[in-house]
């Protein structure tokens, strides 16, 4: 079979067959293993959902308890990983710190047995357990403090919030954070998942798979958008300034962060739930000055861009939820990585099940049989960069 049509960004080109998640971008449907996201958000937990995504079945109470227990047991970092993180520049972005630390896990757990289910399970457990600890550790290290040890008596979500602030979180706040982790856990073949799959298809180790996905998630067109949403709301500053800000930005052909999606042409179902979570948090812990600005912005964007299918995406309200939970702005994307690690691992496992190395083709647009000009006869056409 020869496929010659070039689609920029591989838009609409199937890159795999998968049974992990399903999106209908016209109807605003997202399902994990066939279960609507709304149902999971109301009834499940992040670790239960991660298990569902990775092993394709909802765990029984006992199986889930074992899984949670194993994850608790593996939350700690080796002291040499903590020491390595202490050498990172404190001004570095936490996503870079996470990418480097995730890759470093491969140095410490170098045995690779990709056809052994026990190895797969151990790698899944280790990654889900340690990614939150690494994110929290860098946060404390860059403030000049020693990282705190994880607490075994706290749930996955509560323990992360505890490791960040060194204070036990309110159970309601921890539950909201857990739901937010679930909502970000998986989303078909987005850029970072594709990156994970390409890396996985070479049969490298799972830590390299996660490191490569983290690097891809970091960009502002993908996971990095939630940070930029909060910065944009800060820049807007008041409800009155929303319309002039938007008109100016659109006139200068700039994008409005947190809006638009390659697949969704309606409001992202995750944004609907996250907005509800934000409202619940504000009701319990006090309003956020940016919320009214965000709601007004959504209305004006809908008025101006709705006819082009540009509506809030998952990143629009997630930043407001994270802010209220006390998470610093530049940790929003690492927090996204904590949840998306579940989806990356599910795709890693699925890829291994029926692996073929990714090797797409290209449409060559360069020269043929070009002359080789000797160095002394060359004329520089382009100014040197830099």
Residues whose CB is less than 8 angstroms from the CB of residue 208 and which lie 6 or more positions away in sequence, other chains included: 103, 106, 199
Nearest to 33 by CA among 349, 358, 352, 356: 349
Question: What is residue 28's three-state secondary structure?
Answer: coil
Using the rule CB under 6 A, is 183 a contact of ligand ACO? no
Taking residues 213 to 242 in sequence order and writing x for each that binds ligand ACO by CB under 6 A, - otherwise, the string is --------xxx-x-----------------
Crossing angle of helices 46-55 and 332-353, rounded to 10°: 30
- Please pick, among 261, 288, 292, 347, the residue that the annotation labels catalytic: 261
Residue from 209, 256, 293, 345 binding ligand ACO (CB under 6 A): 256
Using the rule CB under 6 A, is 259 a contact of ligand ACO? yes
Q: From CA 62, how far away is CA 67, in angstroms rounded?
A: 9
- Give DSSP secondary structure letters for 115-127: T-HHHHHHHHHHH
State which residue, 178 or 298, has the beta carbon closest to ligand ACO: 298
Q: From CA 244, how far away is CA 154, in angstroms rounded?
A: 46
Using the rule CB under 6 A, is 181 a contact of ligand ACO? no
Using Cβ positions, the residue closest to ligand ACO within the complex turns out to be: 260
- Please pick, among 315, 330, 368, 376, the residue that the annotation labels catalytic: 315
Residue from 313, 333, 339, 351 binding ligand ACO (CB under 6 A): 313
Smallest distance, Å, CB 65 to ligand ACO?
A: 32
- Beta bridge partners, 22, equal 31
Residue from 53, 230, 310, 337 binding ligand ACO (CB under 6 A): 310
Nearest to 322 by CA among 219, 215, 180, 217: 180
Quick one: which segment of 102-110, 273-281, 310-318, 375-383 binds ligand ACO (CB under 6 A)? Answer: 310-318
Q: From CA 137, how far away is CA 140, in angstroms rounded?
A: 5
Could you tell me whether strands 21-24 and 29-32 are parallel, antiparallel, or unpaired per DSSP bridges? antiparallel
- Beta bridge partners, 30, equal 23
Near ligand ACO in 6-25, by CB under 6 A: 9
Using the rule CB under 6 A, is 258 a contact of ligand ACO? yes
Question: What is residue 100's three-state secondary structure?
Answer: helix
Query: What φ, ψ does residue 371 adopt, rounded to 5°?
Result: -70, 145
State which residue, 291 or 311, has the beta carbon closest to ligand ACO: 311
Using the rule CB under 6 A, is 260 a contact of ligand ACO? yes
Question: What is residue 36's three-state secondary structure?
Answer: strand
Quick one: which segment of 45-53, 152-160, 252-260, 376-384 binds ligand ACO (CB under 6 A)? Answer: 252-260
State which residue, 76 or 262, has the beta carbon closest to ligand ACO: 262
State which residue, 111 or 253, has the beta carbon closest to ligand ACO: 253
| Angle at alpha carbon of residue 361, lines to 368 and 214, rounded to 5° | 120
Near ligand ACO in 261-290, by CB under 6 A: 261-262
261 is annotated as an active-site residue: yes
315 is annotated as an active-site residue: yes
Contact yes or no for 183/31 (Cβ under 8 A): no
Taking residues 102 to 141 in sequence order and writing x for each that binds ligand ACO by CB under 6 A, - otherwise, the string is ----------------------------------------
Smallest distance, Å, CB 127 to ligand ACO?
A: 20
State which residue, 181 or 314, has the beta carbon closest to ligand ACO: 314
Give the neighbor-by-neighbor strand order of the sheet with 35-36. 21-24, 29-32, 35-36
Q: How far is CA 310 from the centre of its chain?
A: 21
Q: What are the catalytic residues?
A: 261, 315
Site residues (vs ligand ACO, CB under 6 A):
9, 221-223, 225, 255-262, 308, 310, 313-315
């Amino acid at each position: 079979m020869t496929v010659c049509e070039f689609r920029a960004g591989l838009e609409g080109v199937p890159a795999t067959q998968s049974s992990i998640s399903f999106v209908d971008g016209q109807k605003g449907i997202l399902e994990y293993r066939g279960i609507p996201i709304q149902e999971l958000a109301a009834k499940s937990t992040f670790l239960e959902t991660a298990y569902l995504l990775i092993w394709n079945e909802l765990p029984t109470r006992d199986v889930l308890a074992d899984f949670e227990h194993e994850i608790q047991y593996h939350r700690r970092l080796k002291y040499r990983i903590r020491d390595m993180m202490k050498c990172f520049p404190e001004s570095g972005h936490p996503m870079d710190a996470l990418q480097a630390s995730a890759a470093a896990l491969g140095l410490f757990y170098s045995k690779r047995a990709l056809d052994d289910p026990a190895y797969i399970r151990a790698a899944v457990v280790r990654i889900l357990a340690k990614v939150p600890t690494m994110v929290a550790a860098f946060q404390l290290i860059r403030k000049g403090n020693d990282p705190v040890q994880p607490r075994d008596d706290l749930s996955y979500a509560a323990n992360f919030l505890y490791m960040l602030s060194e204070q036990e979180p309110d159970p309601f706040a921890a539950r909201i954070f857990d739901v937010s982790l679930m909502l970000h856990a998986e989303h078909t073949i987005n850029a970072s998942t594709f990156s994970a799959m390409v890396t996985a298809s070479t049969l490298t180790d799972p830590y390299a798979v996660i490191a490569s996905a983290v690097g891809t998630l970091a960009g502002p067109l993908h996971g990095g958008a939630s940070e930029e949403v909060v910065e944009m709301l800060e820049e807007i500053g008041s409800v009155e300034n929303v319309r002039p800000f938007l008109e100016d930005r659109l006139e200068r052909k700039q994008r409005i962060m947190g809006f638009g999606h390659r697949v969704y042409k309606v409001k992202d179902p995750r944004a609907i739930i996250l907005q509800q979570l934000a409202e619940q948090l504000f009701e319990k812990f006090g309003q956020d000055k940016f919320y009214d600005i965000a709601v007004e912005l959504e209305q004006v964007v809908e008025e101006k861009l709705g006819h082009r299918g540009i509506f809030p995406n998952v990143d629009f309200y997630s930043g407001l939820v994270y802010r209220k939970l006390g998470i610093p702005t530049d940790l929003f994307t690492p927090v996204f990585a904590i949840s998306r690690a579940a989806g990356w691992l599910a795709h890693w496992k699925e890829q291994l099940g029926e692996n073929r190395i990714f090797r797409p083709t290209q449409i060559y647009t360069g020269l043929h049989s070009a002359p080789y000009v000797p160095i002394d006869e060359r004329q520089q056409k382009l100014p040197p960069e830099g």
